[in-house]
Structure 1
Amino acid sequence: MSKRQTSTTSAAGKPSKPRPPPMVPRPSSSILLLSPTNQVLLLHRVQTSTSFASAHVFPGGNLSTYHEGDLIPPPESPLRHVDGPAYRLAAIRETFEESGILLALDSSGRLLEVEDATREKGRKKIHAGKVKFADWVKGLGGTPDVDGLLPFTRWVTPTNMPKRFSTQMYLYMLPLEAKDGVRKEVVVPTPTHDGGLEHTAATFDSISNWLAAAREGRIILFPPQYYLLSVLSEFIKPGEGDYKGQREEVRRFLSKTPTGREGDPTALIPWGEKVMSPTAMFMLSGDGRLVMGIDKPGPELKDSGRGGDKDRVVLVDFTKEGPKRLEVRSREEVLRLRREAEEEEAKGKL
């Protein structure tokens, strides 16, 4: 028996088949892309996708041995689950492949402007593995803006899932409009989907609209996307035109500590370094939704001192159509509701 396999015993006392080890998480990265008016870009996944089918997701994807090559840390390396050059380059590459928005800078430090025909031809060649992304950008006189990415949590897929990922999330802020309110500093191309390969739409909208659409069942958001948008909504609100001020608040939020109540070790971890692996806690009585904890970092990072958010939990109803009735709530409040339900149930049995 492999050292990583464990055997169990059935109710009849007979040894059952060894439990296979969990799948090794694949390295991936995604970007929460803010428009010049602080809207967020989401992509609508195709129905046939093997991951997040029909859901709305942030642009991103797996690291590529062809494009990121030797930059990718091996599975046994501690750098596998840490922000680094490979994750940053892959996030920018995938965003370009999936939306057509190129997060690269020219020699003056401004976003590189590319003609539409050149852009679309490059997307196809890069996606097909006919040219390396970094080489293509260099050929246009630009460099991927890896320093413009702000780490905003990492997510490790739970072990009960057939496909697992260690996904580095980033935040990227496209340039604001110029002060005169008319001329823009750069021309930000309208996002477009990838021709139906993986996505059928690429759209900027306000965070509040995305969250409302998910609550009303008009779109599908999975817990990580819903949670991150909910957290960001505390600083970026519709109807408030101080886009620069909102961004400054977000920057302070990502780096500050503590992030929670005193005595909680995860409160000493800034948001840019938090690692979350959703864990089923219990079903909320009378509600029908699963309560998911997001404070643990996953088995690969057990005893590493890393962790996520112990103050919040995510409530979700997993249906055949996808996650429904998502909500981010205080862990303390949900635990109180559970205690009250148990007390009522105990009284009913007397």
Structure 2
Amino acid sequence: MPEPKDASTVLFIRDGAEGVEVYLIRRARQMAFAGGMTAYPGGGVDPRDSDAEFGWIGPDPGYWADAFSCDERRAKALVAAAVRETFEEAGILLATVGESPVSDTDNEEWETERLALLNREQSLSEMLNRRGMSVRADLIRPWAHWITPKAESKRYDTRFFLMKLPDGVEPREISTEHDHAEWVPAARAVEESDNGTRPMLPPTTATLTALTAFQTAEEAMVSAPPTRIVPIMPELVQQDGVNYVKLPDGTMIKPSIKIGPGRSVVN
């Protein structure tokens, strides 16, 4: 049984005419993992950020360690991964020089930095220190924690972060890992998941469903769990010849993709 790899993913949210909207991507069909599935921007942790010192604004690593059931070293790397992936996949940089946000990254200077991160030519902490920047941990909230079932050959220990985009800040569709991105009302996305028109992994459906309880993005941000989030690690089971993901509370979810060797259904 492989150990799950640490990963971070970020739900961008905003207010819309039909309630809270979420920025959803469709992973490119040629991707080895979850090709063609609806997801959020995110990816794996860079170990280089675990022990590095860099500027930090907002709840300290101890807060995130409590929320996500880990030590402070890992918590710092998880937040750094959320910031890095947000920049790599959507061009939004959750870091500032002092209190001044970087409002425009759509230029040659920042594209060079983004590609250097994407190609692992530099770590996020290296870029932050060189530019005298600080991570803005105050702009995100802990939202959920899912771990791939033990039976899977490819496993992830994924922490989900929530972010209400500041006015005037928009994600850019720049990642080669997805072929489509759009803002969708959370309730509509859940309905499309249920009727099979928008394939999703169970954690995506579950985290979207949780958002439908709120009228505004700010309500969702304020409601983010103030204490430890209970990790969810489902089981893969069969019932009447049909494969399901069974949650700890007994809920049975029929995945949108085939369960089988090398095809993880939870991330």
Give TM-score scaled by structure 1 length.
0.60
- Measured against aligned partners, the alpha-carbon deviations of 1:25-53 in whole angstroms (never above 9, x if no partner) come to 11111111113654211221111222211
1:127 to 107, 118, 128: 118
Residue matched to 1:47 = 29
The question of whether the paired residues in 1 share the 8 Å contact of 2:8 and 2:79 is answered with: yes
Give 5+ residue unaligned stretches, structure 1. 1-21, 72-77, 176-183, 237-242, 256-269, 296-309, 323-350
Relative distance call for 1:228 and 1:139 in structure 2 (3 A) is same
Shift in Å at residue 212 of structure 1? 2.7
What is the one-letter code of the residue matched to 2:196? Answer: G
Cα deviation for residue 61 of structure 1 reads 0.7
Q: CA deviation at 1:251?
A: 2.4
Q: 1:254 maps to which residue?
A: 225
- Structure 1 residue 188: Cα displacement: 0.7
Aligned counterparts, 1:299-310, within 5 A: 310=249
Paired with 2:15 and 2:135, the residues of 1 have a C-alpha distance of: 19
2:58 is matched with none
- Rounded to whole Å, the distance in 2 between the matches of 1:51 and 1:294 is 21
Q: 1:274 aligns with which of 225, 230, 244?
A: 230
Distance in 2 separating the partners of 1:115 and 1:318: 35
Bigger RCO (CA 8 Å, 6+ sep): 2
Correspondence 1:1-350 to 2 at 5 A: 22-35=1-14, 37=16, 38-66=20-48, 68-70=49-51, 79=70, 84-108=75-99, 111-117=101-107, 118-140=109-131, 142-175=133-166, 184=167, 187-194=168-175, 196=176, 198-236=177-215, 243=216, 247-248=218-219, 250-252=221-223, 254-255=225-226, 272-280=228-236, 283=239, 290=243, 292-295=245-248, 310=249, 313-317=251-255, 319-320=257-258
Unmatched tracts of structure 2, length 5 or more: 53-68, 261-267
Identity of aligned residues (%): 22
8 Å Cα contact 2:92/2:105 also seen in 1: no
Do the aligned partners of residues 82 and 34 (structure 1) sit closer, same or farther apart at CA in structure 2, a change above 3 Å counting?
Answer: farther
Amino acid at match of 2:197: R
Compute the RMSD of aligned alpha carbons: 2.9
Contact 1:83 1:168 in 2 (8 A): no
Aligned to 2:57: none
Asked if structure 2 preserves the Cα contact closer than 8 Å seen for 1:134 and 1:143, the reply is no
Name the structure with the higher strand share.
2
Q: 1:82: how far off? A: 9.4
Q: TM-score, normalised by structure 2?
A: 0.77
Matched residue SS, 1:276: coil
Letter in 1 for 2:247: I
